[in-house]
Amino acid sequence: MSDIEIVEDDVSLIVPIIDEAGSPKVRVRRRGRVTKWLAIGWLTFIVVSAIGANSLPYINHSCDQFESKLDCSTALNGSLKKIELPPTWAFFADPPKEPVGGGATHVGIMGTDRNGYDIFARAMLGARPSLTIAGLAITFGLAIATILGMIAGYFRGWVDVLIENITNVLLAFPALLLVIFCVTFFTDNTQSAASARPLWPIILALVIVSIPPLTRLVRANTISYAQRDFVVAARSLGAKGSRIMFKEILPNIVPALVSFALTGLALLIVAEGALAFLGLSVEAPTPTWGKMISAGTERLRNDVWWISLMPALTMFLTVLSINLLGDVLSQRFNTREAIA
């Protein structure tokens, strides 16, 4: 990761860009472009493989693909020889047991797990629930938070106190507990088929937890502009509150909003993983990153690291790429603003 260079981060856009002109900037831009394309490339790769995960050229990543249980178990027996084999590039790692009946000791780009499933294929399959849930949740969360935060930050007074108190109440619950609580609250008592656990409670829970911190951030950003000269000028010219909010302040906080959205997306992918880690995300047959990581930790003590760390790496790179893009995007906005 050492070649990734992040030079400006999102908040530096409060600072005027003028003093950053000159030759160092050109160099910086070029590096940023490379990492940007790496990030975009990785995310494209993940999305495409997630969509096409079922037709990946790897065996037995899930029983979903089989017509009957019998087919699945036959295929499983065929791959029993390949249990817990390290990835091909990991020459330094030994499988815990010799593969039955000889054959390769290293398999695939991420190795195989306890059931002989190919970890790479399962990791791609696991991208589906993570990305869907986090993406939907941040969209709703940010939309609500922007409105609340700008109203609170611009009008102040009793509205601010009211919104602040609501966010305070929600923030007073530790976020993860609140999510767990919401998920249990909405799913527990349906008692329907375990595999049919709906997605919406998880999404709703994540929306609820993402609103308070986002509202606070938007509010703080609004406040930092609310007393600026151009706002004061607009007000003294007789502009209405809504006009000032949407025409004067919103354009200024949009870059911040975009970076919040991407950071939030990354955080929610992580949060969804945390739920999965605690066994609260989507149910059994579907693999998720969190579940794969947590299932693998049992084997860590025997130095079988790839079962846990390979999905972890996948998730890390995804989250990192999203964060990077957030950064790049905020730079882009920043530049435009400076030109205009």
Partner 1 sequence: MRYVLRRLAQTILVVVLVTLLTSAALRFMPNATEVLVAAKTGPGATKEQAEAVIKDLGLDKPFYVQYFSWMKDFVTGEWGNTFQTNQTIASEVKRALPISVFLMIYGQLLALSAAVPVAVWSAYRQNSRFDRMSATTAFGMLSLPNYIVAPVLMLLFSVQRRWVPYPSIYSGLWDDPVAHLKAFVLPSITIALPLFAGYMRLLRADMIGTLQSEFITTARAKGVSTRNILFRHALRPSLFSLVTATAVNVGALMGGVVIVEQFFLLNGMGRLTVESIFRREFPTVQYCVAILALIYVSINLFVDMIYAWIDPRVRAGRALG
Q: Which spans of this chain sit near partner 1 (rule: CB under 8 A)?
A: 1-2, 4-7, 9-12, 14-15, 20, 24, 28, 161, 165, 168-169, 171-177, 180-181, 184-185, 188-190, 213, 220, 263, 266, 270, 273-274, 277-278, 290, 293-294, 296-297, 300-301, 303, 305, 308-309, 312, 315-316, 319-320, 323-324, 327
**Smaller CB distance to partner 1: residue 81 or 156?**
156
**Smaller CB distance to partner 1: residue 25 or 240?**
25
Q: Cα dihedral angle (240, 243, 245, 247), rounded to 10 degrees? A: -150
118: β partners? 112
Residue 93, H or E segment: none
Q: How far apart are CA 288 and CA 124, in angstroms?
A: 9
Question: Taking the complex as a whole, how short is the minimal distance between the CB of residue 55 and partner 1, in angstroms?
Answer: 28
**Smaller CB distance to partner 1: residue 55 or 189?**
189
**Smaller CB distance to partner 1: residue 175 or 218?**
175
Q: Cα 301 to the chain's mean position, in Å?
A: 28
Question: Taking the complex as a whole, how short is the minimal distance between the CB of residue 120 and partner 1, in angstroms?
Answer: 17
| Helix ranges restricted to H, 188-305 | 200-226, 229-236, 241-243, 250-277, 289-297
Q: Cα 204 to the chain's mean position, in Å?
A: 16
Question: Taking the complex as a whole, how short is the minimal distance between the CB of residue 174 and partner 1, in angstroms?
Answer: 4
**Smaller CB distance to partner 1: residue 58 or 277?**
277
**Smaller CB distance to partner 1: residue 67 or 229?**
229
Question: Taking the complex as a whole, how short is the minimal distance between the CB of residue 331 and partner 1, in angstroms?
Answer: 13
Question: Taking the complex as a whole, how short is the minimal distance between the CB of residue 67 and partner 1, in angstroms?
Answer: 35
**Smaller CB distance to partner 1: residue 60 or 263?**
263
149 contacts 214 by C-beta, under 8 angstroms: yes
Q: How far apart are CA 314 and CA 118, in angstroms?
A: 14
Lookup: tokens for 109: 């780009």
Q: Cα dihedral angle (273, 276, 277, 280), rounded to 10 degrees? A: 140
Question: Taking the complex as a whole, how short is the minimal distance between the CB of residue 167 and partner 1, in angstroms?
Answer: 10
Please say whether the dihedral angle defined by the alpha carbons of residues 96, 99, 105 and 111, taken in this order, is positive or negative: negative
Question: Taking the complex as a whole, how short is the minimal distance between the CB of residue 108 and partner 1, in angstroms?
Answer: 20
